[in-house]
Amino acid sequence: MTDVDSILSFTNIFSDLVMVIVIMDVVALIIALFLERYDPRAFTTWLILLLFLPPVGFILYLYMGATIYNRRKFVPKNISDTQLMQAHEWQRDVLERDIEAHPEAAGIFHMAKSMENAGAWSYSNNNDISVYTEGDPLFRDMIEDIRGAKRSILIEYYIIRNDHDGNELLELLTQKVREGVEVRLLTDAFGIGKGPKEGIFRFRNAGGHYATFHSSINLALSPKKNNRNHRKIALIDGRMAYCGGFNIGDEYRGEGPLGHWRDATVKVSGAGVLPMLVRFCADWQYCANRDPLKPMEAYIDVTIYTNGGSDRMQLISGGPDTMPNNPVQMQYHSMIVNARSRLYITTPYLGPDDSMMVALANAARSGVDVRILIPDKKDHIFLYWNNLTCANELMRSGVRIWRYNDGFVHEKMILVDDVYSSVGSANLDHRSTTLNFETNVMMYSERINDQLCEQFLADLERSTEYSCEEFDRRTTMMKIRMAVSWQMKLLA
């Protein structure tokens, strides 16, 4: 074969390869447009990438864009429909009885009913809720409660670091297993990363139950790679539960590169523990159906129905299994549109969808005191610049934005008027309201509202108010970073 023939043969093979890639790009575009129902702006971005950079665009689409999957695969099977209905029956009439008994609190129950219809779980009115906004007291109390466990410990966290706090938790859980306590630990395969592998190994060898949300082996090629279990829940003996935004690690007590860490988690004692148990059981079964749980009754302390306090709450969970009617998304939207006097929001990642952007703008225009606190430090570079882009758009509508200066703020908190407040794992962004599995605690308590408001105003004292004028003074490089970050946001 001559050199010319070799060149022609190579050219033909290369042309065929390009044609195959183009055909695959067309298929990906069809999926993105018709099956995944992409936002038109995101579709335009993928169109440019797939047509002008075929190989790179297709690989990026497989890794970042593809989210189509069979939703039935997310349905829990270990907890039978009968058990789920029984759990609901135990608390189904509580809201109706409260509505009849307390007509003066009609506004509270209107919101609670709205949340119930949106998918919130198990309204309860006999809870004792404590709020933690710093890592030290939270970890001290949680470790003490775990140390005192007698029957069961069920833990579900997005991140557990391979550091002092992460390994201390694993050592304690291993010790509890050896004492005869049933301990189950669930982490996210993406979030756990290089977590305390040796500690997990010892935990499993001692008889502890361990599972990851999705497999780290096939995560890279799975279309579920964008669907992360971002929840943070810990249940001890079925009588108390923690839920919020703190992960497990030294940095969450302010000992990391971002310095002082501000976040929020709540501890619940009372009937509000039940929906958290149901949440854990559903997630465990999805991840570890070969290691089944006992019936839910084995993990609940029946005294939660007679003991506790007077705090009202609901648990609100969302994820791709609930789309297109994600309860977390509907929760946030409902809280925004129902604000009448004040709406205070703390979020590390500010990227609400179009409907919430309009709702926030309209709330400010109607006279509601809308204030949003975001970080002034970068933990995710693209998200940092997106924060500023969204902030500018909202500020032009009258929303006031502050940037936290005293370390890093990771709290996901929404406070409405004098009664409603939410603390949990869901950020005010596209990932939390569409892609991730999240859980929030919705609370109806003036006491907790006052506590969160006091903390929020104290945080503003350690923050700097942002302005449109400052945004307009950004450099050319900052404009480029914001433009690139915005396109990356659309791709997710």
Quickly count: other Cβ atoms within 10 Å of residue 10's Cβ: 10
Q: Report d(CA 61, CA 65) in Å as an integer.
A: 4
Say if CB 278 and CB 87 are below 8 A apart: yes
Residue-wise DSSP of 384-404: HHHHHHHHHHHHTTT-EEEEE
10 Å CB burial of residue 162 (0-12, 13-18, 19+) is middle
Q: Report d(CA 69, CA 24) in Å as an integer.
A: 18
CA 251 to mean position of chain CA atoms = 19
Catalytic annotation, pick one of 224, 333, 410, 430: 410
Say if CB 288 and CB 333 are below 8 A apart: no
CA 342 to mean position of chain CA atoms = 24
397: which DSSP letter?
Answer: T
Active site residue 291: no
Catalytic annotation, pick one of 232, 267, 333, 430: 232
3-state secondary structure of 405: coil
Phi, psi (rounded to 5 degrees) for 418: -110, -5
Catalytic annotation, pick one of 263, 417, 429, 459: 417
Active site residue 417: yes
Active site residue 410: yes
Catalytic annotation, pick one of 176, 230, 267, 489: 230
Q: Report d(CA 328, CA 292) in Å as an integer.
A: 28
Active site residue 380: no
Catalytic annotation, pick one of 176, 267, 333, 412: 412
Cα dihedral 376, 463, 140, 129 in deg (nearest 10): -110
- Which residue in the block uniquely carries the two structure tokens 């309204």? 123
Phi, psi (rounded to 5 degrees) for 477: -65, -40
The residues annotated as belonging to the active site are: 230, 232, 237, 410, 412, 417
